[in-house]
Structure 1
Amino acid sequence: MLLVAALACPATAAQAPDSRPVPATNATGPAAPPYADLADLIQVSPVIADATIRSTARIKGAEAANVPAGRQRLYVTADVGALIRGEAGLPPRIGYLLDVAPDARGRIPNLKKMRVLVFARRVTGVADQLQLAGPQAQIAWSPAADSRVRTIARELLATDAPPAITGIGNAFHVPGALPGEGETQVFLQTRDARPVSLSILRRPGEQPRWSVALGEIVDEGAGPPARDTLLWYRLACGLPAQLPDTSVSQLGPDDAARAREDYRVVLDALGPCTRSAR
């Protein structure tokens, strides 16, 4: 399995590599990594390139001193086919460091001519050298992966992109006139202080319905976000597993219990924030 090192070029000071595993690749091209993995990477990658590996060279000596046991460091040279994200462009050929794990026979994977998507940062003062952005910062190219990366990049750069969730504010519950009827509203804290809230509505004999508002006005008809969209990612990967006690401190015991139940409705509907093993 390929292991990505968050490193600069051989001429720069080496940084500790990230030795967490990334999905294995094959000749036919793997499925795209989970949405959350890609969104994590794209957010921290000023440069995203579609490239084809031209050559690799094993790195030894001091520049490979911090390579994890059982792995080997390569210097990768790749030809850029397309720049998906990045200001000021890229030269036709780039280089970066990559740690790999040999196969069962001790052989290094043959990466030559492999088409990849590279998520990286620029190395200051060296135009053709990149520093990989972190786990899974090089993945095998496939139509599915390319399409998903471009979609997420567009969503993240949109002016109306939903903000990152940093915590939970106050929660309120208002019982209805009929048994089993009521509404819960949960206010979320965001990185840029934009208002985001969840509304959960219960009516007798019906399944609970919930919606998310990206502003002051609640649109109960908006419905939950579709899975594998940026809004889904912000909620599924940003919400805590339960309402903090501070969020329901102003509610009576019954209303607090119902608010927690309604919050669980949202989490269950969103499903898990699936990431690959790291």
Structure 2
Amino acid sequence: MRRTFLALVLAAMLAPGPAAASLAWIDLADITVASPVILRAKVDRARRLGPRVAPDVAPGRQRLLVAARLVSALRTPGLVPARAEWLWEGEPSAAPRKGTELIAFLVPAGPGPRPELAQYRLVAAHGQVPWDPGTEARVRAILRDLAGWTTAPEVEAVRSGFHVPGTLEGESESQIFLALKGGTPITLVVLRRPGALPEIRVATGDLIDESAAPVEPETLLWRALACGLPREAPEPLAADPALARDYVAVRAALGPCTRRSPAATDAARSR
């Protein structure tokens, strides 16, 4: 069984894994959403695999079989064994060492050779990060956010919109209608008042009223909008200059979709 596990995972090409400090918030959200198992674990052993077992490892890098003891489970589909192992690849200076505590973002790789041992693979090359209280708190906050959605929000389309001038010069309101994957409607509301910056709010249902709230940064909805909306006003909005202007204001307010590592997606579960 151990040889089968190694054969399955060694077939994947792994890239260097950055430390948690080098990951953008969106990187962390990507791997959190994509991982059915997230563990805080303490490394018992990190055994280097030699050229005979891992012939495709590039010079200056190493591939390790990491064995670790469970400290706590941040996300699991059920009970998990007390011990886990997975493969990691990267530069020797970043290699996990005995006694190091990690947060591992994992996908099951099959039953372990013993009931107390589970075998996994990392959900992405950057799916193993050093544990610290701040990183764990960020992951738990993302998981709480995710629990409020049927699936992690992702923009499917910009449907339409309209712009209405106000009674005062410089006063107006635009509404931009989006659809998330799965059909959930989202409405972006842009309010302009004389002498003030545009006010941007979002309504996550069919009813648009005073409950529409600003888009909170470092949330899954913010990630969906910042990473899923086109940079320029799409066809349904571009024909109306005022509406297109307000769309551009939305994009500017959201900020960039910053990733420092390749995105991990839900598709990783089935690889």
TM-score by length of 2: 0.84
2: CA distance between counterparts of 1:195 and 1:157?
A: 18
Q: Deviations over 1:91-123 (max 9, x none)?
A: 1111100002134xxxx7461111000000101
The answer to whether the aligner puts 1:258 opposite 2:248 as a matched pair is: no
CA contact (8 A) 1:211 1:220 kept: no
Q: Following TM superposition, by how much is the alpha carbon of 1:67 offset from its aligned partner in structure 2, in angstroms?
A: 2.5
1: CA distance between counterparts of 2:100 and 2:131?
A: 8
The answer to whether the aligner puts 1:50 opposite 2:40 as a matched pair is: yes
Q: Which amino acid aligns with 2:103?
A: L
List structure 1 runs of 4+ shifted beyond 4 angstroms: 159-162
Q: Following TM superposition, by how much is the alpha carbon of 1:270 offset from its aligned partner in structure 2, in angstroms?
A: 1.9
Q: Following TM superposition, by how much is the alpha carbon of 1:172 offset from its aligned partner in structure 2, in angstroms?
A: 1.9
Match of 1:158 among 127, 132, 148: 148
CA contact (8 A) 2:84 2:118 kept: yes
2: CA distance between counterparts of 1:18 and 1:197?
A: 40
Task: Give SS of 1:152's match.
Answer: helix
Change (3 A) 1:162 1:40: closer
The answer to whether the aligner puts 1:135 opposite 2:125 as a matched pair is: yes
Q: Which amino acid aligns with 1:14?
A: L
Q: Which amino acid aligns with 2:195?
A: G
Q: Following TM superposition, by how much is the alpha carbon of 1:208 offset from its aligned partner in structure 2, in angstroms?
A: 1.5
CA contact (8 A) 1:199 1:211 kept: yes
Alignment-derived partner of residue 269 in structure 1: 253
Q: For structure 1, which runs of at least 5 residues remain unmatched after alignment?
A: 1-7, 24-29
CA contact (8 A) 1:9 1:95 kept: no
The answer to whether the aligner puts 1:120 opposite 2:106 as a matched pair is: yes
Cα RMSD of the aligned pairs, angstroms, is: 2.4
Alignment-derived partner of residue 3 in structure 1: none
TM-score by length of 1: 0.82
Alignment-derived partner of residue 74 in structure 1: 64
Q: Deviations over 1:171-228 (max 9, x none)?
A: 2222334432322111112111111010111223332112101011123453312221
Match of 2:55 among 54, 65, 71: 65
CA contact (8 A) 2:16 2:89 kept: no
Q: For structure 2, which runs of at least 5 residues remain unmatched after alignment?
A: 263-271
CA contact (8 A) 1:162 1:230 kept: yes
1: CA distance between counterparts of 2:148 and 2:22?
A: 22
Q: Deviations over 1:219-276 (max 9, x none)?
A: 34533122212222222222221221x2226x4xxxx222122112222222223322
Q: Which amino acid aligns with 2:219?
A: T
**Structure-to-structure mapping, 1:1-278, within 5 angstroms:** 9-12=5-8, 14-23=10-19, 31=21, 33-61=23-51, 63-103=53-93, 109=95, 111-126=97-112, 128-159=118-149, 163-220=153-210, 222-244=212-234, 246-248=235-237, 251=239, 256-278=240-262
Q: Which amino acid aligns with 1:120?
A: L
CA contact (8 A) 1:31 1:142 kept: no
